[in-house]
Amino acid sequence: MIDLAQDSHRRYNPLTREWVLVSPGRIARPWQGRIEAPALIESSAYDPKCHMCPGNVRVSGTQNPKYSATFVFDNDFPAMKPNTSDGMIEVKELLVVRGEPGICRVVCFSPKHNLRLPRMGQPTLRGVLDVLAEQHAQLGALPWVNYVLPLENSGAAMGAGNPHPHCQIWANGNLPNAPSRELTSFGTYLRSHGSCMLCDYLKLELKRRERIICENEFFVAVVPFWAVWPFEALVIGKKHKSGFANLIASERDALAEILIKLTTRYDNLFRTPFPYSMGYHCAPTDGAAHPEWHFHAHFCAPLLRSVTVRKFQAGYEMFGTPQRDITPEVAEKQLRDVQQWHYLDDAPK
Ligand SMILES: [Zn+2]
Ligand SMILES: [Zn+2]
Ligand SMILES: [Zn+2]
């Protein structure tokens, strides 16, 4: 028998249909690699140099309004533009090109330059989620937009270009690779089992309770069995919903609460603003009903041993298979065992 806590083994990800190599003993190896600088914890609520703060002028020359809640603007340096041709070029099936029109927006969570998601408070975050839902519906309704992806890079270690808490929304016609793979997986599972893959997976996790970080009435945060990143998490709705559009008010409140609970635990793990990349996977907006799709959010959290040592996906991960050093069960236990309130709220000693 394989001992999942001791022996190296592969785990299958039914969403991507790929494998991850788990190497439980490897965490003991000496580390002489890159050491990250600990992130600065305190900053002020307004930064005159920040191009996202209220009233400031952006690089494009546009002045931000003196906004008092969530603020949305079109990215000044978008990766895709709406008026691009969607024409094709194809040479012998080897040089294949397709134009990619799209819309990229930036959503500043709040006017406060230093108000990160775990510190936001549920009503404020609920307001942000309402804006995301509204944006998702508005962009998804455009006839040529078939996928809308809200995502957040938090912390310089995960590529955030500006520390002002914000997320982005990318909308375009072709399904991006990750949701495209998931759509196939969800569809195949529904056809062969007559049920939803994530509904079934969540039932298993709730019964076994080996990887559940936290939960509330409507949502569960779990370290997925097939996690690649050290403290990867999947936020899954307990009800089968396809996206923001059909979450009722109490479910949006619960989503805000679980996101704060999860990111608070991240911060508490190494008592630092924990960097992460997260994305919301809603059903495509291509006009089809998509009964196979189950709304969820992914968190990729890269810190491994401490504030200063992170996991890189390089070498074997790039040329072989993604690999992880601590088991998902050990990661879950660490996240579950930390205190529930944020470390910045600790009473001064
Ligand atoms: Zn700012
Ligand atoms: Zn489902
Ligand atoms: Zn997904």
Q: With CA atoms as reference, report the closest residue to 33 among 270, 271, 304, 268.
A: 304
User: Which residues fall within 8 angstroms of residue 146, CB to CB, at 6 or more apart?
Assistant: 172, 173, 174, 175, 284, 285, 286
Q: Are 54 and 124 in contact (CB under 8 A)?
A: no
Write down the pTM of the prediction: 0.93
| Closest listed ligand to the CA of 239 | 2
Q: Determine the distance separating the centroid of ligand 2 and the alpha carbon of 15, expressed in angstroms.
A: 13
Which pLDDT score is estimated for 43?
A: 78
Ligand 3 is an ion; residues with CB less than 5 A from it: 182, 281
* Sign of the torsion angle spanned by Cα atoms 23, 156, 172, 238: positive
Which pLDDT score is estimated for 32?
A: 54
Q: Determine the distance separating the centroid of ligand 2 and the alpha carbon of 294, expressed in angstroms.
A: 5
Question: What are the percentages of helix, strand and coil residues in the chain, rounded to 5?
Answer: 30, 20, 50
Tell me if residue 246 falls in helix, strand or coil.
helix
Ligand 2 is an ion; residues with CB less than 5 A from it: 196, 198-199, 240, 294
Is 166 marked active-site? Answer: yes
Which pLDDT score is estimated for 318?
A: 82
pLDDT, one tens digit for every residue, the chain (349 residues):
889 999 999 999 999 999 999 998 766 555 555 555 555 555 799 999 999 999 999 989 999 999 999 999 999 988 999 999 888 999 999 999 999 999 999 999 999 999 999 999 999 999 999 999 999 999 999 999 999 999 999 987 766 778 899 999 999 999 999 999 999 999 999 999 999 999 999 999 999 999 999 999 999 999 999 999 999 999 999 999 999 999 999 999 999 999 999 999 999 998 888 999 999 999 999 999 999 999 999 999 877 766 666 777 777 888 889 998 889 999 999 999 999 999 999 877 6
Q: In the 8-state DSSP scheme, what is residue 284?
A: P
| Closest listed ligand to the CA of 234 | 3
Q: Determine the distance separating the centroid of ligand 3 and the alpha carbon of 293, expressed in angstroms.
A: 10
Q: Determine the distance separating the centroid of ligand 3 and the alpha carbon of 25, expressed in angstroms.
A: 29
Q: Determine the distance separating the centroid of ligand 3 and the alpha carbon of 183, expressed in angstroms.
A: 9
- β-strand pairing of 323-324 with 18-22: parallel
Which pLDDT score is estimated for 302?
A: 78
- Active-site pick, 113, 136, 164, 166: 166
User: Which residues fall within 8 angstroms of residue 28, CB to CB, at 6 or more apart?
Assistant: none
| Closest listed ligand to the CA of 290 | 2
Q: Determine the distance separating the centroid of ligand 1 and the alpha carbon of 107, expressed in angstroms.
A: 12
| Closest listed ligand to the CA of 111 | 1
Q: Determine the distance separating the centroid of ligand 3 and the alpha carbon of 310, expressed in angstroms.
A: 23
